[in-house]
């Protein structure tokens, strides 16, 4: 893994972080047969991009994100992360890759409710072989970055939704990932808190160059990104700069439907 990072750091062009080629996903149906959810998904994401993956409910966004996050494997196609084909890796190898390279932010925060804020943020550092004092120092630094340094000994249940999501972002950052994957990060928040979180993600992308792939079904949220990939019925129907209005995407939906 070290060699991959070294190669990536010396490259001149923005490095390719995610490369999906002809990715398909089929799920078995309970009554037999299977349902195809993703069709020939092909796109690259380069270092420093902020990409929104947008589409209606059931279009395959989370399925796509789970593959990108090495939480699930595709039925076909190839997936390269940092130039390494990870399609055929074992669950253990995938777990190492997730821990080392990817920070996750989920709609429901996924915090451990009986552990303190500080413990939650320290979690991804557990497998890094760092001494306890260093883990605490790093977790505190991340909490400071999200403005929650005074809340380290609170339990997640004592925090507002927006604060919980900030803890989740601090946890995602603790492992020093180059890539953050966020699945509907503001889906459980009111619009004021949601905007705060989006501004924060945007700031991370701008000032620290952290690559972000964010799933949303709302155009107003996708506008925070620099690039928009629209998925409809498991097909990419748009991939480009965020358009000024949603109308461009609705046109592309009807194109996708005809397929």
Cα torsion angle, 72, 74, 75, 79, sign: negative
Q: What mask, x for binding Mg ion by CB under 5 A, covers residues 58 to 87?
A: ----x-------------------------
Phi, psi (rounded to 5 degrees) for 116: -70, 165
Query: Which residue, 62 or 252, is less far from Mg ion as judged by CB?
Result: 62
Nearest to 25 by CA among 68, 55, 54, 83: 68
Per-residue interface string for the shown chain with ligand ATP, residues 189-218, x marking contact by CB under 6 A: ----------------------------x-
60 near ligand ATP (CB under 6 A): yes
In what helix (H) or strand (E) does residue 206 lie, and over which residues does it extend?
helix 191-208
Q: Which is nearer to ligand ATP, 26 or 145 (CB)?
A: 26
Give the residues across from 236 on adjacent strands.
Answer: 231
- Binding at 58: pick from ligand ATP, Mg ion, none (beta carbon under 5-8 Å per type): ligand ATP
Q: Evaluate whether 6 touches 84 at the Cβ level (below 8 Å).
A: no
Contact between 244 and ligand ATP per CB under 6 A: no
Which 10-69 positions form the footprint of Mg ion (CB under 5 A)? 62
Q: With beta carbons less than 8 A apart as the criterion, state whether 69 and 79 touch.
A: no
Q: Is the CB of 119 or the CB of 183 nearer to ligand ATP? A: 183
Site for ligand ATP (CB under 6 A): which residue of 62, 99, 186, 205? 62
| Distances from the Cα of 121 to the Cα of 49, 66, 118, angstroms | 25, 22, 5
- Chain positions contacting Mg ion, by CB under 5 A: 62
């Amino acid at each position: 893994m070290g060699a991959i990072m070294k190669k990536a750091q010396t490259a001149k062009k923005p490095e390719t972080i995610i490369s999906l080629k002809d990715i398909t996903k089929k799920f078995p149906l309970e009554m037999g047969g299977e349902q195809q959810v993703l069709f020939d998904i092909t796109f690259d994401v380069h270092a420093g991009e902020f990409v929104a993956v947008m589409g209606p409910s059931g279009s395959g966004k989370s399925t796509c994100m789970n593959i990108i996050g090495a939480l699930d494997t595709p039925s076909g196609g190839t997936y390269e992360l940092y130039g390494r084909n990870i399609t055929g890796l074992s669950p253990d190898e995938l777990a190492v890759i997730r821990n080392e390279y990817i920070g996750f932010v989920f709609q429901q925060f996924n915090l451990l409710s009986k552990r303190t804020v500080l413990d939650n943020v320290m979690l991804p550092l557990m497998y890094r072989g760092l001494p306890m004092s260093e883990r605490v120092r790093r977790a505190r630094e991340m909490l400071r970055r999200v403005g929650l340094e005074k809340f380290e000994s609170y339990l997640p249940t004592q925090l507002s939704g927006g604060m919980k999501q900030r803890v989740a972002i601090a946890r995602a950052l603790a492992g020093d990932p180059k890539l953050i994957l966020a699945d509907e990060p503001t889906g459980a928040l009111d619009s004021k808190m949601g905007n705060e979180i989006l501004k924060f993600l945007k700031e991370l992308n701008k000032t620290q160059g952290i690559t972000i792939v964010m799933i949303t079904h709302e155009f107003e949220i996708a506008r925070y990104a620099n690039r928009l990939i629209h998925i409809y019925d498991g097909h990419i129907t748009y991939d480009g700069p965020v358009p000024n209005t949603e109308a461009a995407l609705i046109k592309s939906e009807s194109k996708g439907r005809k397929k």
